[in-house]
Chain A
Amino acid sequence: MNQTSTLRVRVRNIKDETSTIKRFTLESMDYSKLPPYSGGSHITTFLSLPSGTLERQYSLFNTTLEPGLFEIAVRLAEDSTGGSRFWHQNVQAGDALTVSFPKNYFPLSFQAKHHVFYAAGIGITPFLSMMAELAEKEHSFELHYAANSKEQCAFYEHLRTVYPDRCRFYFSNSEGTKRLSPKLLLDHRIGTHVYFCGPERMIEDFTNAAKSYGYPSFNIHWERFAPPVNREHKPFSVNLQRSGRQFEVPANTSLLDVLRKYGINVPYSCRVGGCGTCEVKVAEGEVFHYDSFLTEEQRCSKGIMLSCVSRGKGKLVLDL
């Protein structure tokens, strides 16, 4: 995310959706239209705090009838150390902010015959734009949405009005209503794609259930935001496993530059963590990944890093 160009926006409006969820309507600083986006997109917001810039990701939607606006919903997290508290307590209508262009890591399936969304709590947000897109294209979909109560159910009125026949609500604290259960997955027709968004546990339960019912992974989608990154540029050292050489990487120099300086011919192209060309194999040590190329799985596997932007913690051993 180093090279991303950004957009300047102004907060037009703030509305309480529930006691803990606020909706922010953002408009372009120069009153032009903000870029359009596909269903399931999100933006990264850059909040300037005294302690530094906080990057947070929020799903994008637009419940107003006016095109060219961004909306996000922010839930005040109890243990929030920054992002959601700042949004709730510091951001005012009229404030100027920096946000990224829309990006989509949670796109709709193209070949689905039917789309089913399972949301819990604030997990509803990516589905707002997805449903809007499907409704416009007249594709078939349904929503199953769980919240503590009607009062705690963000966008309840909006959803009931706009998609009256396609939404089922599940309130955990009221008597008599059904709980949201993975058993619902048993009843979807062939060609259905399912989408889950909510707490980690819910995503896991539904994903496991879908797989056990015989859903191909291809038909199962979920959204989990990447944990926030705080960029640290501290010096670290690298050992090269095969040649036994050892180098120091100063705070203001990239690993790629250090390796090349010592004649190790790591190929590269973009130098901003976007093309994947400068990958090196990591044998040991902890890596701070600052690229925008590797997938979550590739990062977790711990075997690789992009040497133009990513850094080691303390001491790294490379398979070179």
Chain B
Amino acid sequence: MNSMADLRAFPYPFGDSDVYRYSNNAIPLDPPNPIELTDSYFDEISLKRELLTKHPERCYHSAPHTLDAQWEVVDLIIDNLVTHYPDRFELEKKDDEWVFSNVQTNENITFTFGDSTSLKIEPLDFIGRHVQEDLLLMMQRDGNLFLDAGQLCFPANWSLYFDAGMSFKEIHSPIPGFKDQSLDDRILQFLMRIEAGSPWWRKNWSLLAGNRLDTSLETFADWGQARKRVTKENAGELVHLRVEVQKLFRLPKSNGILFTIHSHMLPLEKFVQHPPWLEKFYSILDELPDFIAGYKGISLYRKQVLEYLEEEMRKR
């Protein structure tokens, strides 16, 4: 793919402001599709499957009471796959007997909908292996939302194994400033009010030294080293803007919430090809408060990236 096409497909994460702060930046999702297939579909699901096989304990977790909700996720995702990508996925239904076909991988899976013994793996794990997204299931229990199941191969430096079972606020407790002006309460309130039929989405951004999608907390000692190698000269190639497209769906039967995360990456050298993006990003990164830069893991090489961006701006 040429770089202009890369640029056009990339989910640019910034708004019109020159400053970035944590806020509830969610907007209604239309069309209401939890899944997006990109050119790297095949590579990414292959990588997901490999990680799931080698590291099940860090890539998958579920509590037993999530099975019904997991089936709702299967229903929602398959329905969208066959609707939006009819030449790549097929579904044949005879009552509860379903045959799901992934044309690209040449797989036909037969199962009885709702009967977990008819699949070799759990429903969420099964459907997650056909999409690029990470899939997290927040169950609403006793007036709060808990991360009770998830398939997570491409985390931005956090651990599903550790966070499993936590409430929304507990999960977000490591983020500095997230409680200011009760932002955490407001976002939780927003989530609790999400209704079936009216999904939402938002984008989150970060920088990554390197180009791995699987930046798990478990392997941080490995991939984190690249932060020390960033220079003004190599930043364009080495440093990537990492954007998570996150979508939120209320599951009407279980009253849970499906949270899908699609991680996109673009090397800075491609990102800067579009001058308005370059300028805006320079301003944002330059102004970014230390506590956010620190949390996002940029502090070690922010200076180098800013120097690189300055030089690019001078060239244009």
Contacts and interface: CB of A to CB of B under 8 A. Distances in A.
Contact of A103 (B28, B65, B140, B196): B196
A277 B202 CA distance: 13
A4 B190 contact: no
A267 B22 CA distance: 11
Interface in A3-47: 3-7, 35-38, 41
Q: Could you say which of A4, A104, A269 has the most chain B C-beta atoms within 10 Å of its C-beta?
A: A269
Contacts, number: 86
Interface stretch (B103-111, B252-260, B270-278): B252-260
Nearest to B65: A110
A102 interface: yes
B187 to A, nearest CB: 8
Given A38-B253, A102-B252, A293-B189, A5 B26 contact: no
Given A101-B195, A111-B142, A276 B186 contact: yes
A267 B253 CA distance: 34
A293 B195 CA distance: 11
Contacts of B195: 4, 100-101, 103, 292
Interface residues of A, number: 32
Q: Could you say which of A100, A275, A276, A295 has the most chain B C-beta atoms within 10 Å of its C-beta?
A: A275
Interface string B270-298: 00000000000000000000000000000
Given A101-B252, A110-B141, A111-B141, A277 B198 contact: no
B252 A3 contact: no
B27 interface: yes
B200 interface: yes
A218 B255 CA distance: 19
Interface string A85-108: 000000000000000111110010
Given A3-B198, A276-B190, A38 B142 contact: no
Interface of B: 23-28, 32, 65, 72, 139-143, 186, 189-190, 193, 195-198, 200, 202, 252-255
Interface of A: 3-7, 35-38, 41, 100-104, 107, 109-111, 218, 267, 269-272, 274-277, 292-293, 295
A81 B195 CA distance: 29
A101 B139 CA distance: 19
A38 B68 CA distance: 11
21 contacts: A3-B28, A4-B197, A35-B196, A36-B252, A36-B253, A38-B252, A41-B252, A104-B255, A109-B142, A110-B65, A218-B142, A269-B25, A269-B202, A275-B24, A276-B189, A277-B24, A277-B25, A292-B195, A293-B189, A293-B193, A295-B189
A103 B198 CA distance: 11
Nearest to B21: A267
Contacts of B27: 269-271, 275
A102 B197 CA distance: 9
Contacts of A270: 26-28, 200
Contacts of B197: 4-7, 35, 100-101
A41 to B, nearest CB: 7
Contacts of B28: 3, 270, 272, 274
